Amino acid sequence: MAQKVRIALDAMGGDFGASVVVPGAAISLTRHPDSEFLLFGDSALINKQLDLHPALKKVSRVIHTDVSVSMNDKPSQALRRGRKTSSMWLAIEAVKKGEADVAVSAGNTGALMAMARFCLRMLPGIDRPAIAAIWPTIRGDSIVLDLGASIGGDAQHLKALAVMGAATASVLFDLERPTVGLLNIGTEEIKGGEEIREAAELLRAMQSPQFEFIGFVEGDGIGKGAADVIVSEGFSGNIALKAAEGTARQITEYLRSAMSSTLMSKIGYLFARGAFRALREKMDPNKSNGGVFLGLNGIVVKSHGGTNADGFAYAVDVGYEMVRYDLLTKINQTLNRDGGALAQAKTAQEAIS
């Protein structure tokens, strides 16, 4: 029998706290019955929700704290005030102590990144964590990173994102050699900032057997599925994510309005409602909820703060899969193979300059 996957939850994180976290965990448990949970936060609020989900309660342990990180806290404030005692910190620390395999939080992104980096430290050769998430496209799913863990990045940082993203894609999509593209304002080699063009040179020089670098990808190429992995620094990546989520909601509203505008459109909807239901499911941002913080010496998953229980369940699912497919080992193997992918890239960069 496979070992249980132990999941630590920041039960006070996000816009709705335990009222979403606990039901979300219960939904995920139905899909992954070999999970067990540590829930950190206000025990009275958590237990009130657990009483509504007996199956989850049997496989859960509640650790009380009345300290939580606000969605408005600056990372430095959260780290100073919430370190050691907040529900967010305690969930991350459970991973460090080996009491949990993964931590999941819907809380403040900047605070989560700061605490995770301080508590778990970075993998060798990685300077900063990145948020990677599954992005649905017309040809299947892709991995897109960084979606906002940090702002900016030099060529070495972008190259490290490519290496980690490729490892993630190979784990999740069972790909022997995933394709990797750099998000840019054009596909021509002369387009983009110096750091992006320099990163492209590094990736070409690597000639990695673990992934195929295909060059630059424009913004519309993300939805087209132009590559299995799309790499961007966090500022551009987060804008792309929020723009896509907003567009999905906008189109949903347009369809809803159009289908109820006239009698004929209402009749037409009755005949096509199965297709519209499938479209709505495909475009639902909650279905793609759950970004993984890559580069840490441990697994942390970030959920959207305003998600519902179904959406949080998907974030928990992502954490489960990262553990079950042994993502950290895969990333380490990719980083260290052939004498170290990052060391090779650094040598290539020195030769270029």
- pLDDT category at 197 given cuts 50, 70, 90 is very high
Please name the CATH architecture into which domain 132-287+340-353 falls. Answer: 3-Layer(aba) Sandwich (3.40)
Cis peptide before 284 (omega within 30 of 0): no
One-character DSSP codes across 169-220: HHHHH--SS-EEEEE-S-SSTT-S-HHHHHHHHHHHHH--SS-EEEEEE-TH
Question: What does the pLDDT read at residue 282?
Answer: 52
Question: What does the pLDDT read at residue 270?
Answer: 57
- pLDDT category at 138 given cuts 50, 70, 90 is confident
Distance between CA 6 and CA 77 in Å, rounded?
A: 29
Cβ–Cβ < 8 Å for 156, 202 = yes
Question: What does the pLDDT read at residue 337?
Answer: 63
- pLDDT category at 284 given cuts 50, 70, 90 is low
Question: What does the pLDDT read at residue 338?
Answer: 40
One-character DSSP codes across 262-307: SHHHHHHHHHHHHHHHHHHHHH-GGGG--EEEETBSSEEEE--TT-
Distance between CA 29 and CA 67 in Å, rounded?
A: 26
Question: What does the pLDDT read at residue 22?
Answer: 98
Residue 276 predicted with pLDDT over 70: no
Question: What does the pLDDT read at residue 188?
Answer: 85
Helix (H, G, I), strand (E, B) or coil at 66: coil
Name, in order, each residue with C-beta under 8 angstroms of 76's C-beta and a sequence gap of 6 or more. 114
Cβ–Cβ < 8 Å for 41, 17 = yes
- pLDDT category at 349 given cuts 50, 70, 90 is very low
Helix (H, G, I), strand (E, B) or coil at 104: strand
Residue 118 predicted with pLDDT over 70: yes
- Average pLDDT of the residues of the chain: 85
Q: What is the mean pLDDT of residues 140-163?
A: 88
Domain ranges, ordered by start, for the chain = 132-287+340-353
Question: What does the pLDDT read at residue 271?
Answer: 53
Question: What does the pLDDT read at residue 232?
Answer: 93
- pLDDT category at 213 given cuts 50, 70, 90 is very high
Q: What is the pLDDT of residues 334-347, one digit of tens each?
A: 766 643 545 454 54
Q: What is the mean pLDDT of residues 146-157?
A: 86
Counts for the chain of helices (H) and strands (E), in that order: 14, 11
Nearest to 89 by CA among 73, 61, 65: 65
Q: Which of 59-63, 126-130, 158-162, 219-223 has the lowest mean pLDDT?
A: 126-130
Q: What is the mean pLDDT of residues 209-231?
A: 93
Alpha-carbon distances, residue 139 vs 42, 223, 327, 347 (angstroms):
43, 9, 24, 36
Distance between CA 319 and CA 267 in Å, rounded?
A: 43
Cβ–Cβ < 8 Å for 132, 144 = yes
Distance between CA 169 and CA 333 in Å, rounded?
A: 14
Q: What is the pLDDT of residues 76-90, one digit of tens each?
A: 888 887 778 999 999
Cβ–Cβ < 8 Å for 75, 113 = yes
Residue 264 predicted with pLDDT over 80: no
Highest mean pLDDT: which range of 40-49, 237-246, 286-295, 304-313:
40-49
Question: What does the pLDDT read at residue 263?
Answer: 67
Please give the helix or strand (H or E) that residue 8 lies within, else none: strand 5-10
Percent of the chain with pLDDT over 70: 84
Question: What does the pLDDT read at residue 265?
Answer: 63
Distance between CA 212 and CA 208 in Å, rounded?
A: 7
Q: What is the mean pLDDT of residues 258-276?
A: 60
Residue 262 burial (CB count, 10 A)? 10
Helix (H, G, I), strand (E, B) or coil at 124: coil
Rounded CA Rg of the chain:
21
